[in-house]
Structure 1
Amino acid sequence: MINVGVLIYPEIQALDLAAAVDCFGQVNQTLKSTGQQPYYRLFTIGQTTTAVKAENGLQLSAEYTLQDCPAIDYLVLPGGAGARPLAADPAFMAWLQQCASSAQKLLSICTGAYLLAHSGLLDGKPLATHWRFAKDLQQRYPKVQVNATELYVMVDKFYSSGGMTAGIDLCLAVIEQDLGVAIAQAIAQELVMYLRRSGKQSQYASPLKIQHSAEQRFTRLQSWLLDNLAQPVSVADMAAQTALSERQFRRVFQSRFAMSPMQYLQQLRLDKARSLLLCDGYSLKHISQQVGVNDPRNLIRMFNKAFGCTPGEYQKHFR
């Protein structure tokens, strides 16, 4: 059984906590329903077992303190306004570094990234966080490679996610690693998720009904497209990824998803462009190249048609 310790602290974001507890907890419920043994042992830990207030005012109390908790296989670090002051606590940081030496995985959700960044464990490595906090995180910890565009990233034993709901995607990815795609898909369905999103998907990606257990070839196509957005991609290229003829691919794709393959590709490119626009230091030309639109004027036209504004106007509104 995998011991999953979930951190609780004052001013935690309750949804980050719930994302982990509900995902891993649902695995146990699903396994029990089929006569199998639970796979995860879930418990909460804190600096004290005295109740603390989450950001939304909810009273939460940890089962164990940092000193008396069971051995931890997976440590989950939820985000919240309290993450930054907690990161400045030398005693907590010493405990986190010690825990990291023995734990199999450390997962940060949203601004839980501040805890990993301050520890120094991610120096020279990528670390995902919510786009709104990326600039501040990068300024505080210049040695960390802050990633504000992807939903989650995994490097070595360190797993990190963007916004609050991206924490669910991260937990599902861990569950898939542990127990396979069928269990992960079953948990997503129990949680009534519209789409199980890959880590490379933009934090702004539109939910599209391309991902389903019976459509693995299209799931693989989605991953391939996300890896190749900067390259020229034709319908023939997409058809080849699904082992269908171009004519059959066009017909099947349109029937399944009520849009053409090129319309879908354009949505992915626009989603990626929107995410990059919220990062500092990227010119429009660079963003255009990263999403496979070589001429920035074409990207401007695409933005106007899709969102009724220019990339510059979009950037000013959301930053």
Structure 2
Amino acid sequence: MKQRKVGIFLFDDAEVLEIAGPFEVFAVTSINRGKPDELKPFLVTTFSESGQIVTARNGFRVVPDYSLESVPDYDIIVIPGGVGTRRELHNGNVISWIRGRIHQVELMTSVCTGAFLLAKAGLLDGKQATTHAASIPWMKENFPAVTVLDHVKFVDEGNVISSAGISAGIDMAFHIVRRLLGVDVAKATAKHMEYDIDFV
């Protein structure tokens, strides 16, 4: 079984749960948990533009594993949101990097207003997407090429998946686990985390 590399983007004023939620889901996912042939299907690391310490929301400090220049070839990338996306929207280096990775990854994903960065990179043009409920009007106004959906936890558009606000990133991560590894693995992971979720 291939172990997929998952990279979570860090930046100042990113929302903490949008980093930690998906990180936890992917990191604790296991096949044959507790058995001699147990397998860890995801290797999760973090990265930032410079590789230096990032201060997420409310003073939560994180040391990234990589910079944009040193990241490995990720299979899955998670772009969180938070008020820091307002600044990153104007960071041409980050936007260009995201745009350039779309053909190299299996899945490009966003949580909350991280969808703004995907939209700015042109990755959501002609697609459906979602974001934090409070930011939907702004996204509709500023990215008219994107069909923005409300009242959904996540939107799966093949190689691009976006989720709604904050805790919805956890649901999106479980969706990815189920999509890639099957419902039994997803259910076992949710049980291990004691997280209530319906896999329908």
TM-score (norm: length of structure 2):
0.94
C-alpha contact 1:109 1:160 (8 A) present in aligned 2? yes
Q: Which residue of 2 aligns with 1:228?
A: none
Structure (1/2) with the larger strand percentage: 2
Match of 1:13 among 8, 12, 15: 15
Contact 2:51–2:68 (CA<8 Å) still a contact in 1?
Answer: no
Aligned position for 1:145: 147
| CA distance in 1 between partners of 2:49 and 2:33 (Å) | 32
* Partners of 2:171 and 2:197 within 8 A in 1: no
1:57-72 → structure 2 map (5 Å cutoff): 57-72=59-74
Gaps of 5+ in 1: 198-218, 220-319
Q: 1:186 aligns with which of 175, 185, 188?
A: 188
In the alignment, which of 99, 114, 124 is matched to residue 122 of structure 1? Answer: 124
> Which is bigger in relative contact order (C-alpha 8 A, separation at least 6)?
2
Residue 31 of structure 1, CA deviation: 4.4
Are the equivalent residues in 2 in contact too, given 1:6–1:75 (CA < 8 A)? yes
Letter in 1 for 2:181: L
Indicate the percent of aligned positions where both proteins have the same amino acid. Answer: 27
Deviation at 1:148, TM superposition (A): 1.9
Partner of 2:197: 195
Which residue of structure 2 lines up, in the alignment, with residue 90 of structure 1?
92
Q: What corresponds to 1:56 in structure 2?
A: 58
Query: Structure 2 CA distance, aligned partners of 1:193 and 1:72?
Result: 27
For residues 1-319 of structure 1, the aligned pairs below 5 Å read 1-28=3-30, 31=32, 33-34=34-35, 35-196=37-198, 219=200
- Aligned partner letter, 2:196: Y
Gaps of 5+ in 2: none
- Once residues 13 and 156 of structure 2 are traced to their aligned partners in structure 1, the CA distance between those partners, rounded to angstroms, is 26
Q: CA deviation at 1:195?
A: 2.6
Query: CA offset at residue 194 of structure 1?
Result: 2.4
Alpha carbon RMSD of aligned pairs, Å?
1.4
The residue type equivalent to 1:191 in the other structure is: M
Q: Tell me, what secondary structure is at the counterpart of 2:113?
A: helix
Shift of 1:196: 2.7
8 Å contact kept, 1:84–1:115? no
- Partners in 1 of 2:47 and 2:128 — Cα distance? 26
Q: State the alpha-carbon separation in 2 of the partners of residues 164 and 69 from structure 1.
A: 25
Query: Cα–Cα, structure 1 residues 11 and 31, in superposed 2: closer, same or farther, change >3 Å?
Result: farther
* 1:3 partner amino acid: K
- Aligned partners of 2:102, 2:55: CA distance in 1, in Å? 26
Runs of 4+ in 1 over 3 A off after TM superposition: none
Report if aligned partners of 1:7, 1:45 keep a CA contact under 8 Å in 2: yes
Residues 64-100 of structure 1 deviation map (CA, whole Å, 9 limit, x = unaligned): 0011110011000111111121121111111111111
How far apart are residue 104 of structure 1 and its match? 0.7
User: Cα–Cα, structure 1 residues 11 and 176, in superposed 2: closer, same or farther, change >3 Å?
Assistant: same
CA contact (8 A) 2:177 2:185 kept: yes
How much has 1:156 moved relative to structure 2?
A: 2.2
Q: Which has the larger radius of gyration?
A: 1
Instruction: For residues 141-174 of structure 1, give each alpha carbon's deviation from its aligned partner in whole angstroms, at most 9, with x where no partner exists.
Output: 1111111221111012000111212111111111
